[in-house]
Structure 1
Amino acid sequence: MARKRSSSFEDVVVALSRLPWWASLLIGFVSWLILNPVASSPVVVPAGVQISDMSGVMISQLWHTFAMFGQYLIPLVCVFGAIGSVFGRQRRKKLLNDVKSATQPGKTIDGLSWPQFELLIGEAFRRKGYSITETGGKGADGGIDLILRKDGEKYLVQCKHWRALKVGLPVVREFFGAMAAEGAAGGYVVTSGQFTKEAKAFASGRNIELIDGVALKSWIAQQHTIRTPTVEIKPPPVAPAMTPVTNTEPLCPVCSAAMVRRLAKRGANAGNAFWGCSKYPRCTGTVSG
C-alpha cells in the first residue's frame, strides 16, 4: 500500500510537535522578532542603480516579501506544533496507562503497532527523568528512534517491535557505531521479543543496555503516573457552640431553695399556677408564673 504523501506544512508541524510545547512557541516568537522589523521597513532602491546591479535589489525585495508573510506564517505553524506536542503528550500518557492495565490482547505490548511501541518507550523513559527527542528512526525496521538527555549526557534508543524474530548481533553492532558517531554516553536497544546470545555478548561492557520483552513488561508495570502533589486545605476547627444553661425551675427568692409548681386553690388567684418554695411551710417564698 502506497504511503500517503504529506505536505511540507504537515512535515514541519510534525517536526515541531516532537519538541516540548514551549520550544515550539519560543521558535515562533523569535522568528517574529526577527522578521517583523524587516517586513516593517520599506525597500529603498538607490538612485542611479544600473541594471547589472538590480540583482541585489531583487534579493532585498524577495527577503522583504518573505518577511511580510513569514512573520505571521511561521509563528502560526509553531502554534500548531505546540498544540500537537500537548496532544501527543496526553496520547503517550494514555497509551502507557492502557498498556499497564490492559486485559485485552490488542492493548498489550504485543498488540501495539510499531509507532505506538516507540511512543510507549519514549513515555517510559520520560517518566524516568529523561528529556526526550523523537527522531522517528527509519520506520519499522530500524534507526535511532529516541535521543535521551539527562544530567548533561546524551543517550540513544533504538526500538525493535519484533515479536517473532530475535534481535541479532548486526543490529547491536550497528547501533554501537551510531553511538560512537553521535558521541552518546550510552544507549538502549528495546525489543518486544528477545536478543541472541551473540548480541548480548557484544553489548556486555559497551554501555549498551538490552531490554527484551520480559524485562520491558516488568519495567512498564512498575511505571508510576506522574502526579502533581496536591495540598489539602482544611478549614480551621470550629469550637463547639456553647449551649446556654437554663434552669427550668426558679430558685426561691427568700432562701434560694428549689421551687415547685403549684396551683392556687383559693383567694383571688384561685386556679392560677405559681412557683412555691420546696421548703414550704418553713419558707413561704413564691414566684408567679
Structure 2
Amino acid sequence: MRRSERNPAIEIVRIALGLVWLPFAWAAAAPAAAVRRYRASVARPGQAAERARFDTKKWTAELLKHLEWRRFEELCAAYYEALGFRAQLTRSRADGGVDIGLSAQDSDGTATIVHCKAWDAYRVGVSPLEALRRAMTASKVRRGVLITAGRFTREAVTFAAQENIQLIDGAGLLGKLAELAPEKSLALLQFTTQGDFLTPTCPHCSIKMISRKSTQAGRKFWGCVNYPRCKHTATV
C-alpha cells in the first residue's frame, strides 16, 4: 500500500526558507512534533572526528557523497520546496525510498515524480530508471527526475532520454544548489548537516542503524537496532 506523508524535515526547511533573516528562528517556529523528530537524529557518540572530515560551511561533492540515503532524500525534496514546488512524499518502494511527487503550490495534481539514489561506488544504471518509469506509469505522470550524488552509466543516459526522465548527477546537483539565492542555499546546508547525517537509516524501521562486526570474518557492517526482529543490514 502506498503511504503519503508530509515529512517533518521538509516542514522545518520550509519554515527556515521563510525565516532565514532571523538567525535560528526556524527552530523556534517549527511545529514541536517536527522538531522532536528532527532533533532525534543527533550525532552519535564518537562521530565528531568523522564529521570533521567535511567542510559543513559549504556544499561540496564530498559532502553530498557521504550523506546517508534518507538525509539525501530529504535534501532533494527540500530543494524543490525551495524552488516553490509542493513535495508530496509517498513511501511505497521496496528499498524504503520515496516517490517525491512535485506539484505547483496551487495544484493538487502531481506533475513530476522524483527518485533519489545516494552515492555508491558504482554508477547508476538502468534499473533505478525502470523503477521510476513504473512509478510514473502507475501515477499517470509524464515527467520524471532521478537525482544521484554520483554519476550515471551511458545506458542510463540513453534510457532517460527516451522516457522523458531528467538526470541530475552529483555535479549537476551542486550546480543547482549554487543557483539558489544564498540564504536559501545556506538554509538547506544547515538543515542537511544538522545532527547525524552520516549514519544510514534502516529503511524498514526508520531509525539510525548501528555499527556491528561479523563473528566469523570480523567484517564491519551496519545493522538495525531492532535485530533480530529486523535483520536489515548495510555495508560500511
Amino acid at match of 2:58: S
Distance 1:193 1:182 in 2: 27
Distance 1:90 1:126 in 2: 21
Residue of structure 1 in register with 2:171 after alignment: 214
Q: Secondary structure at the match of 1:166?
A: coil
Q: Which runs of 4+ in 1 moved over 6 A?
A: 86-91
Residue of structure 1 in register with 2:127 after alignment: 170
Give the Å deviation of 1:219: 1.2
User: Is residue 83 of structure 1 aligned with residue 23 of structure 2?
Assistant: no
Amino acid at match of 1:133: Q
Contact 2:10 2:78 in 1 (8 A): no
Q: 1:121 to 1:89 in 2, by over 3 A?
A: farther
Structure with higher Rg: it is 1
Number of matched pairs: 147
Q: 1:19 to 1:117 in 2, by over 3 A?
A: closer
Residue of structure 2 in register with 1:275 after alignment: none
Which one has the bigger helix percentage? 1
User: Is residue 148 of structure 1 aligned with residue 105 of structure 2?
Assistant: no
Give the Å deviation of 1:211: 0.6
Contact 1:146 1:156 in 2 (8 A): yes
Amino acid at match of 1:206: E
Residue of structure 2 in register with 1:121 after alignment: 76
Residue of structure 1 in register with 2:203 after alignment: none
Give the Å deviation of 1:193: 0.9
Amino acid at match of 1:159: C
Distance 2:135 2:84 in 1: 23
TM-score, scaled to structure 2:
0.51
Q: Secondary structure at the match of 2:114?
A: strand
Distance 2:81 2:36 in 1: 16
Distance 1:104 1:192 in 2: 8
Give the Å deviation of 1:148: 1.2
Give the Å deviation of 1:188: 0.8
Paired-residue identity, %: 30
RMSD of aligned residue pairs (Cα, Å): 3.7
Distance 2:82 2:57 in 1: 14
Q: Secondary structure at the match of 1:220?
A: helix
Gap regions ≥5 residues in structure 2? 12-29, 41-54, 186-236
Q: 1:146 to 1:90 in 2, by over 3 A?
A: farther
Q: 1:197 to 1:99 in 2, by over 3 A?
A: farther
Q: 1:117 to 1:20 in 2, by over 3 A?
A: closer
Give the Å deviation of 1:112: 1.1
Distance 1:208 1:103 in 2: 25
Q: Secondary structure at the match of 2:144?
A: strand
Distance 1:88 1:221 in 2: 28
Contact 2:102 2:114 in 1 (8 A): yes
Greater relative contact order (Cα 8 A, min sep 6): structure 1 or 2? 2
Residue of structure 1 in register with 2:115 after alignment: 158
Give the Å deviation of 1:142: 6.2
Q: Secondary structure at the match of 1:117?
A: helix
Distance 1:100 1:207 in 2: 35
Contact 1:188 1:208 in 2 (8 A): yes
Q: Secondary structure at the match of 2:146?
A: strand
Q: Secondary structure at the match of 2:121?
A: coil
1:230-288 CA distances to partner (integer Å, 9 max, x unpaired)?
xxxxxxxxxxxxxxxxxxxxxxxxxxxxxxxxxxxxxxxxxxxxxxxxxxxxxxxxxxx
Q: Which of the residues 199, 220, 230 maps onto 2:156? A: 199
Distance 2:153 2:174 in 1: 19
1:124-167 CA distances to partner (integer Å, 9 max, x unpaired)?
1111111012234547x464331211263511111100231111
Give the Å deviation of 1:192: 0.8
Residue of structure 2 in register with 1:111 after alignment: 66
